[in-house]
């Protein structure tokens, strides 16, 4: 972490709130386990992505272990504005984690939306939407202990079956000083059901801080529709950007230039082969035939991938 990070210390960090006050819909790359790392953030920023999140980091491990910090958090001068997302359940632990990243990032986000069983069992993620007082304590602690008033503190949630409870949670979070709230428009139990954009609209109308809409946004047109339906101040995209990192720039599918950019960035960053290859598999999903996929998806070295791209696409 620190090797990449030292140069960032003196640079002028950007204020994400300026984006929300710009009057434009803020285009955001979601926190994605294994995928929204520095190299990929560098790529999407080239294609009109305004704000990027790190993958979710367990705050307790991050605070306790230098090894966890080195493997989980890498950034550089161009990687702004940047939000570090933490899974936490104790106010002081979240605070300590925020303090560590504060010189290098523009804000932190508390994950209150992850529905995975392990996270819920540990008291992280979506189970926090039923603990508004705990969220309040965690946000308040960070607000009180981080000196930089421009450092944002946001939360990412799922919705309750009873939307009144979600509205109440959001209003309490606003009163505590949360910078903005990202709403994934599904309940904890819902996985592939349609997103409740109407719920996001009601939440947006119930608070005066920015609201970010998340869920099933695959194209720039989807993003514009969701903004129209919900009135949200920003849109957060996960799978849509994996499949097409250039989507915010208006491309319908991944352009070859973007694939070339990924190769250059990934090699420059020393991206591990599995991650390098997986990203390409996602990006090329819609532009390769079944037969090509069968060959490309089983390649097992960087040189084999580079040869394939050169032979078939001139990349």
Does 291 appear as a known binding residue?
no
User: Helix, strand, or coil here: 232?
Assistant: coil
Dihedral (Cα; 173, 177, 178, 179), 10-degree rounding: 150
Does 32 appear as a known binding residue?
yes
Does 184 appear as a known binding residue?
yes
Residue 227 to residues 25, 184, 220, 241, 284, Cα–Cα distance (Å): 8, 14, 11, 17, 28
Residue 232 to residues 29, 174, 212, 311, Cα–Cα distance (Å): 15, 16, 6, 44
Does 227 appear as a known binding residue?
no
List, as own/partner pairs, every contact residues 2-10 make where C-beta atoms lie below 8 angstroms and the sequence separation is at least 24, other chains included.
Answer: 2/70, 4/38, 4/74, 4/75, 4/76, 5/73, 5/74, 5/75, 5/76, 5/104, 7/76, 7/77, 8/75, 8/76, 8/77, 8/79, 8/103, 8/104, 9/103, 9/104
Q: Give catalytic residues, as residue numbers.
A: 114
The number of residues making up the chain comes to 315
Does 226 appear as a known binding residue?
no
Does 238 appear as a known binding residue?
yes
Does 149 appear as a known binding residue?
no
List, as own/partner pairs, every contact residues 187-193 make where C-beta atoms lie below 8 angstroms and the sequence separation is at least 24, other chains included.
Answer: 187/158, 187/159, 187/160, 187/161, 188/115, 188/120, 188/126, 188/129, 188/158, 189/115, 191/115
Q: In the chain, what is the straight-line distance between the N-terminal and C-terminal CA atoms, in Å?
A: 31
Contact 100, 57 (CB under 8 A): no
What residues form the annotated binding site for FMN? Answer: 31-33, 85, 184, 238-239
What residues form the annotated binding site? Answer: 31-33, 85, 184, 238-239
């Amino acid at each position: 972490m620190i090797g990449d990070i030292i140069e960032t210390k003196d640079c002028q960090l950007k204020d994400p709130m300026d984006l929300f006050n710009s009057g434009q819909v803020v285009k955001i790359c979601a926190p994605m386990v294994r995928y929204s790392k520095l190299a990929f953030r560098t790529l999407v920023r080239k294609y009109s992505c305004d704000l990027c999140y790190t993958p979710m980091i367990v705050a307790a491990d991050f605070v306790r272990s230098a090894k966890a910090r080195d493997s989980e958090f890498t950034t550089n001068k161009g990687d702004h504005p940047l939000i570090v997302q933490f899974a936490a359940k104790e106010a002081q632990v979240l605070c300590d984690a925020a303090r560590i990243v504060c010189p290098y990032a523009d804000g932190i986000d508390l994950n209150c939306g992850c529905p995975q069983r392990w996270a819920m069992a540990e008291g992280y993620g979506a189970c926090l939407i039923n603990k508004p007082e705990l969220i309040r304590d965690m946000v308040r602690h960070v607000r009180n202990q981080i000196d930089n008033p421009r450092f944002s503190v946001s939360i990412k949630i799922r919705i309750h079956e009873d939307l009144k409870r979600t509205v109440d949670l959001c209003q309490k979070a606003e009163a505590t000083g949360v910078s903005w709230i990202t709403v994934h428009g599904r309940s904890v139990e819902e996985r592939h059901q349609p997103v409740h954009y109407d719920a996001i609209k009601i939440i947006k109308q119930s608070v005066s801080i920015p609201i970010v809409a998340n869920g099933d946004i695959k194209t720039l047109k989807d993003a514009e529709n969701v903004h129209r339906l919900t009135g949200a101040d920003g849109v957060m995209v996960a799978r849509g950007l994996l499949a097409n990192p250039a989507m915010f720039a208006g491309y319908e599918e991944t352009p070859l230039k973007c694939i070339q950019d990924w190769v250059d960035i990934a090699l420059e960053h020393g991206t591990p082969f599995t991650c390098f290859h997986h990203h390409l598999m996602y990006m090329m999903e819609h532009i390769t035939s079944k037969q090509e996929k069968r060959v490309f998806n089983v390649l097992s070295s960087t040189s084999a991938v580079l040869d394939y791209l050169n032979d078939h696409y001139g990349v």
